[in-house]
């Protein structure tokens, strides 16, 4: 889509990289015009992998769908830094009302299959979405549902040598 005209006629040349899951990150490419096309891809195309540029990427539904499918089916095909960045971007966009809560919460369901530190570290950080949701809804009638949702996404979460649900007194 076209960018809105600036009253000052500012235009920015934006560096970006791309990633197709299971392959290497592309070399830096430059977005130097107000319109253009993305590189062709046979699979999901992730922009700004590893969050290396100072930009967030807001995917439309059609572009997001194959990324989400990959996260659900094979999260390891996308590096953990990029998976954490995708969570970070989604949280920022839901707070800014750029994506729906439904889409954000659907995105986080992939965490059921996540076993890497960084995405979980982001989710559980002081300003991460889990603590924020727990704090904001602690006295709300949906709190019981929130706890069920969190129990579901953390069902396979491993803490060190412990698996949630193990009898820790026997370790």
Run of H or E residues at 60: none
Q: What is the pLDDT of residue 55?
A: 85
3-class DSSP state for residue 162? Answer: strand
Does residue 116 lie within any of the structural domains? Answer: yes
Does residue 171 lie within any of the structural domains? Answer: no
**Lowest mean pLDDT: which of 27-31, 80-84, 167-171?**
167-171
Selection from 157, 163, 71, 165 nearest residue 115 by Cα? 157
Does residue 61 lie within any of the structural domains? Answer: yes
Q: What is the CATH number of the domain that holds 118?
A: 1.25.50.20
Does residue 134 lie within any of the structural domains? Answer: yes
Does residue 7 lie within any of the structural domains? Answer: no
Which pair of structure tokens corresponds to residue 4? 């809105």
- Mean residue pLDDT of the chain comes to 86
Q: What is the pLDDT of residue 119?
A: 93
The more confidently predicted of residues 17 and 39 is 17
Q: Evaluate if pTM is beyond 0.85.
A: no
**In the predicted structure, residue 13 carries a pLDDT above the cut 90:** no
**In the predicted structure, residue 170 carries a pLDDT above the cut 60:** no
Domain that holds residue 127: 14-164
- For 44-56, b/e burial (b = at least 16 CB within 10 A) is bbbbbbbbeeeeb
Does residue 8 lie within any of the structural domains? Answer: no
Orientation angle between helical segments 80-95 and 61-73, nearest 10 degrees: 130
Which pair of structure tokens corresponds to residue 145? 């549902």
CA dihedral 40, 2, 34, 16 (to 10 degrees): -50
User: What is the C-alpha separation between 132 and 57, in angstroms, rounded?
Assistant: 22
Which pair of structure tokens corresponds to residue 171? 């370790």
Count the domains in the chain.
Answer: 1
User: What is the C-alpha separation between 119 and 86, in angstroms, rounded?
Assistant: 9
Does residue 153 lie within any of the structural domains? Answer: yes
User: What is the C-alpha separation between 35 and 11, in angstroms, rounded?
Assistant: 12
Neighbours of 132 (CB within 10 A): 14
Contact 69, 44 (CB under 8 A): yes
Taking only the tens place, the pLDDT of each residue in 103-162 is: 999 999 999 999 898 999 889 887 889 999 999 999 999 999 999 999 999 988 876 665
Most confident of 14-23, 82-91, 149-158: 82-91
Does residue 3 lie within any of the structural domains? Answer: no
């Amino acid at each position: 889509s076209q960018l809105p005209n600036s009253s000052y006629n500012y235009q920015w040349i934006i560096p970006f990289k791309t990633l197709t899951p299971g392959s290497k990150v592309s070399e830096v490419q430059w977005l130097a015009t107000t319109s253009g096309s993305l590189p062709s891809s046979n699979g999901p195309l992730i922009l700004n992998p590893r969050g290396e540029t100072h930009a967030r990427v807001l995917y439309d539904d059609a572009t997001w769908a194959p990324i989400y499918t990959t996260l659900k089916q094979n999260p390891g095909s996308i590096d953990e830094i990029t998976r954490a960045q995708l969570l970070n971007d989604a949280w920022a966009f839901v707070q800014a009302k750029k994506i729906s809560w439904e889409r954000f919460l659907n995105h986080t369901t992939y965490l059921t299959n996540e076993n890497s530190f960084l995405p979980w570290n982001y989710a559980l950080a002081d300003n991460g979405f889990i603590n924020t949701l727990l704090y904001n809804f602690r006295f709300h009638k949906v709190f019981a549902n929130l706890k069920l949702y969190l129990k579901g996404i953390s069902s396979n979460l491993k803490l060190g040598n412990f698996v949630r649900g193990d009898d820790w007194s026997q370790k």
